[in-house]
Amino acid sequence: MLAYRLLTEDDTSAFCHKVSLALAKGWALHGSPSYAFDAARGVMRCAQAVVKEVEGDYHPDLKLGEL
């Protein structure tokens, strides 16, 4: 099964660390990153999709961050 996650974070080094950790755990980048202004909070936000091939079938109780 191909698992999918969308990582998001404010535009700080924390976002880069979050993506780097996912890559270190075997996730692969999927598409280009996104960058948008969160007007409610007054900050820029980043997003990056990642995918990982894992054994088994999908079920809604999967803890994607633990794969």
pLDDT tens-digit readout, 13-45 = 999 999 999 999 999 999 999 999 999 999 999
Residue 16 has which token pair? Answer: 């880069």
Burial class (CB in 10 A: 0-12, 13-18, 19+), 22: buried
pLDDT of residue 65: 87
**Is the pTM of the predicted complex or chain greater than 0.85?**
yes
The predicted-structure confidence for 46-61, as pLDDT tens digits, reads as follows 999 999 999 999 989 9
- Domain residue spans of the chain: 2-59
Give, rounded to a whole angstrom, the gap between the first and last alpha carbons of the chain.
12
Which residue did the predictor score with more confidence, 4 or 65? 4
**The token pair that represents 63 in the structure block:** 């803890």
Name the one residue in this structure whose structure tokens are 């900050």.
43
